[in-house]
Amino acid sequence: MNKRKDMSLMTVVLGRLNLSLPRLLDLDNHVGNGGRLLDEDLYFLHKAIEDSKRVMPLFKRNPEFQMPEMKLYSLYNSILKKALDNE
């Protein structure tokens, strides 16, 4: 895939992330304060992780975006670890 197409796709991916990041941060804060995840939270988190998996090749082809990818997976991990600790 060419760099130009990758950049167009990355624009879309980052736009979607901008929409989901506030909720992800809220979930991290919620479970960090001892809260439990509701079914709709788990569904949202599952969809966010699945979306990330689909665009992983895009991140791998473009090393300049690997740091945001790692931070995103770290956030997913933080939410899930805290949520499991709260069960």
The mean per-residue pLDDT over the stretch 33-42 comes to 96
Closest by CA to 79, choosing from 39, 9, 24, is: 24
Identify which has the larger pLDDT, 42 or 20: 42
Residue 1 — pLDDT band, cuts 50, 70, 90?
A: low
pLDDT value of position 42: 95
Which is more confident, 47 or 59? 47
Confidence of residue 73 (pLDDT cuts 50, 70, 90): confident
**Is pLDDT larger for residue 19 or for residue 82?**
82
DSSP 34: T
Helices (H), the chain: 3-32, 39-61, 66-86
What is the four-CA torsion angle of 5, 54, 37, 40, rounded to 10 degrees?
80
